[in-house]
Chain A
């Protein structure tokens, strides 16, 4: 299994730069997920690793070898596409064995390798079917099978679950996680879905506008986001941001007054920031507490409440600032149009006006 190393990697189409200098180490056997909003360059970056896009500047190493100008087929990679990219006129068996024919693999060896991959993916009953006779999830499994038979050093997945319905997506997500455990290969996986990233990744790489915003384990990113973008992107529902101003700086921390909740102050255990600076206070939906349980209380007008049984999501606002609050045991609140919640300073984050975390 191979590691992947990117150094100062850039991609430009004419004057338009889409990847603006990426440095990244993907250790061997790791499951790394590139995540970011559409247009952030995550797919382009993956395609550059695959060799489908030329690297404008910088170095790409796979298994310690510089691969910038190496043909895609000689990089030791295999790729699974969003559209599956199955050969429509070939059976599952032929789809999986097709590339091996050109690698000089003997016929009985091809049959054995295809058989092994089919067993791993539970594709054996489908081997003689055509792609059009398969469901979306089955097609995706065939696409993965076609990648497996080549015994690649690195697997590349480009939004593989985007074309599946919600239920199947969850199912396939678990399949892919199981597969990684079994095969122990390096995987680079691109998605715009942060839930997929959180559940699958050893390491998440958050990208925006062609640069890496943060690299870390899912819980690192969740618990300790480097900036407002990552804080808002990782976690569902999204982190809430309350506008505020720094009104006091002391040894024990920084005190913020919330703009839309006059008189509500909160002292956070951080040392950055400047007096009078406009800041955003980040609070996750699940971190709002019962009134009086935290450090400060705020009261809000309820717009909509979604009751899901075990939890509820309350969409509320104050002065036009919309917030989402996750509540447990909230059945008694049905029909209520005013609520009070508390914020705990220890579970809140502070960001400056440029979106950088104040620590």
Chain B
């Protein structure tokens, strides 16, 4: 058989192999993405849509609720992601110490939250942090507070509650990445540093963190994406309240689409705001973490 024909046959075979996956991806991913972009230029309620150009973007600038949701999402992002990344790193380093007893138990305990159902744990958190819940009783028994903390009714404490919840749920997930990366680091590197008299804090600061940098970047990016899409916890614990104090962009999209008179075009626009934000933030994170060496 001539070479050209053989090449073409091989090409066809190759495409045939990936065609099922490509078709499914196209149908359920690419098409909705493109369609939502088109939708974001539509105005009107329910099925009564018409092309509105940039009207939706203009609406964003005047929409106080959207700006509230955007602000809340950023607060969650700025406060929660660093806390969680820091905690995950500390847990990972502690649990990587081969002299620690019951390592397996601790690892499982910290990882377990992230395999629990989002709805189940949210519901549990809601009841635990209720005005007369176990948290209030525990804190008062320990004399840490004089009265109940208004977890669900005060705008400040509601945000704290959401941050506690997602930190509990996702720290173990990030820790697993760090643990895996730590176990790939040659142990003699730390032994060499010990012999050379490098103190423990410096081994963490100047050896562990730089060597984990790619993984830290990865977890920061996925945590950023996760926080910008935060929905389940706020929907189930606070419903975005009190008075929109925990309303996130995702919850707002849900409300625009399913709770209020459906406004598909506008909610698609808000969705694209998240896409753009994820893009910008990830780019900034890559820029910060970029390898300074050119090689």
| Interface residues in chain A, defined as those with a beta carbon under 8 Å from any beta carbon in chain B | 50-52, 71-74, 77-79, 81-83, 85-89, 98-99, 102-103, 130, 133, 146, 150
Shortest 4 CB-CB distances between A and B: which pairs?
A73-B197, A99-B196, A85-B188, A85-B192
Q: Which residues of A contact B192 (CB under 8 A)?
A: 79, 81, 85, 146
Q: Which residues of A contact B191 (CB under 8 A)?
A: 50, 52, 79, 81, 85
Contact: A102 with B197, CB < 8 Å?
yes
Q: Which residues of A contact B210 (CB under 8 A)?
A: 89
Minimum CB–CB distance from A72 to chain B (whole Å) comes to 5
Given contacts A99-B193, A102-B202, whether A89 and B211 have CB atoms under 8 Å apart is yes
Given contacts A89-B210, A102-B199, A130-B293, whether A52 and B194 have CB atoms under 8 Å apart is yes
CA distance A353 to B192 in the complex (A): 44
Contact: B189 with A85, CB < 8 Å?
yes
- Please provide the chain B residues from 177 to 220 with a CB less than 8 Å away from any CB of chain A in the complex: 186, 188-189, 191-199, 202, 206-207, 210-211, 213
Contact: A88 with B295, CB < 8 Å?
no
- Please provide the chain B residues from 124 to 151 with a CB less than 8 Å away from any CB of chain A in the complex: none
Q: Which residues of B contact A87 (CB under 8 A)?
A: 189, 193, 207
Minimum CB–CB distance from B212 to chain A (whole Å) comes to 10
Q: Which residues of A contact B293 (CB under 8 A)?
A: 130
Nearest B residue (CB) for A156: B195
Q: Which residues of A contact B193 (CB under 8 A)?
A: 87, 98-99
Q: Which residues of B contact A150 (CB under 8 A)?
A: 196
Nearest A residue (CB) for B207: A87
Nearest A residue (CB) for B197: A73
CA distance A88 to B192 in the complex (A): 13
CA distance A101 to B210 in the complex (A): 17
Contact: B197 with A52, CB < 8 Å?
no
Nearest A residue (CB) for B196: A99
Q: Which residues of B contact A73 (CB under 8 A)?
A: 194-198
Contact: A72 with B194, CB < 8 Å?
yes
Q: Which residues of A contact B189 (CB under 8 A)?
A: 85-87
CA distance A87 to B206 in the complex (A): 9
CA distance A16 to B197 in the complex (A): 31
Contact: B195 with A77, CB < 8 Å?
yes
Minimum CB–CB distance from B287 to chain A (whole Å) comes to 18
Q: Residue B198 contacts which of A77, A82, A99 (CB distance < 8 angstroms)?
A: A99
Q: Which residues of A contact B196 (CB under 8 A)?
A: 73, 78, 98-99, 102, 146, 150
Nearest B residue (CB) for A100: B196
Q: Which residues of A contact B213 (CB under 8 A)?
A: 89
Minimum CB–CB distance from A144 to chain B (whole Å) comes to 12
CA distance A82 to B192 in the complex (A): 11
Q: Which residues of B contact A86 (CB under 8 A)?
A: 189
| 0 or 1 for each of B226-241: is its CB under 8 Å from A? (1 = yes) | 0000000000000000
Known: A73-B195, A78-B195, A102-B202. 11 other contacts (CB 8 A): A50-B195, A73-B198, A74-B197, A77-B195, A79-B191, A81-B191, A85-B186, A86-B189, A99-B196, A99-B197, A102-B198
Q: Which residues of B contact A133 (CB under 8 A)?
A: 295
Q: How many positions in chain B have a CB within 8 Å of any CB in the partner chain?
A: 20
Q: Which residues of B contact A52 (CB under 8 A)?
A: 191, 194-195
Nearest B residue (CB) for A143: B192
Contact: A81 with B202, CB < 8 Å?
no
27 pairs, A vs B, C-beta closer than 8 Å: A52-B195, A72-B195, A73-B195, A73-B196, A73-B197, A74-B197, A78-B195, A79-B191, A79-B192, A81-B191, A81-B192, A83-B188, A85-B186, A85-B191, A87-B193, A89-B210, A89-B213, A98-B193, A98-B198, A98-B206, A99-B193, A99-B196, A102-B199, A130-B293, A133-B295, A146-B192, A146-B196
CA distance A89 to B199 in the complex (A): 18
CA distance A133 to B291 in the complex (A): 15
CA distance A270 to B132 in the complex (A): 95
CA distance A86 to B295 in the complex (A): 18
Q: Which residues of B contact A78 (CB under 8 A)?
A: 195-196
Q: Which residues of A contact B295 (CB under 8 A)?
A: 130, 133
Contact: A88 with B194, CB < 8 Å?
no
Contact: A83 with B186, CB < 8 Å?
yes
CA distance A86 to B196 in the complex (A): 12
Nearest A residue (CB) for B202: A102
Minimum CB–CB distance from B95 to chain A (whole Å) comes to 21
CA distance A78 to B194 in the complex (A): 10
Nearest A residue (CB) for B209: A89
| 0 or 1 for each of B155-191: is its CB under 8 Å from A? (1 = yes) | 0000000000000000000000000000000101101
Minimum CB–CB distance from A141 to chain B (whole Å) comes to 15
Minimum CB–CB distance from B191 to chain A (whole Å) comes to 5
Q: Which residues of B contact A51 (CB under 8 A)?
A: 195
Given contacts A51-B195, A146-B196, whether A88 and B211 have CB atoms under 8 Å apart is yes
Residue among A77, A88, A133 facing the most chain B CB atoms (10 A cut-off): A88
Nearest A residue (CB) for B190: A85
Nearest A residue (CB) for B186: A83
Q: Which residues of B contact A89 (CB under 8 A)?
A: 210-211, 213
CA distance A87 to B199 in the complex (A): 15
- Please provide the chain B residues from 260 to 295 with a CB less than 8 Å away from any CB of chain A in the complex: 293, 295
Minimum CB–CB distance from B290 to chain A (whole Å) comes to 13
CA distance A313 to B295 in the complex (A): 48
Nearest B residue (CB) for A132: B295
Minimum CB–CB distance from B202 to chain A (whole Å) comes to 6
Q: Which residues of B contact A82 (CB under 8 A)?
A: 188
Q: Which residues of B contact A102 (CB under 8 A)?
A: 196-199, 202
Nearest A residue (CB) for B191: A52
Q: Which residues of B contact A50 (CB under 8 A)?
A: 191, 195
CA distance A71 to B196 in the complex (A): 10
| 0 or 1 for each of B50-84: is its CB under 8 Å from A? (1 = yes) | 00000000000000000000000000000000000
Nearest A residue (CB) for B185: A88
Nearest B residue (CB) for A84: B188
Residue among B195, B199, B213 facing the most chain A CB atoms (10 A cut-off): B195
CA distance A50 to B213 in the complex (A): 30
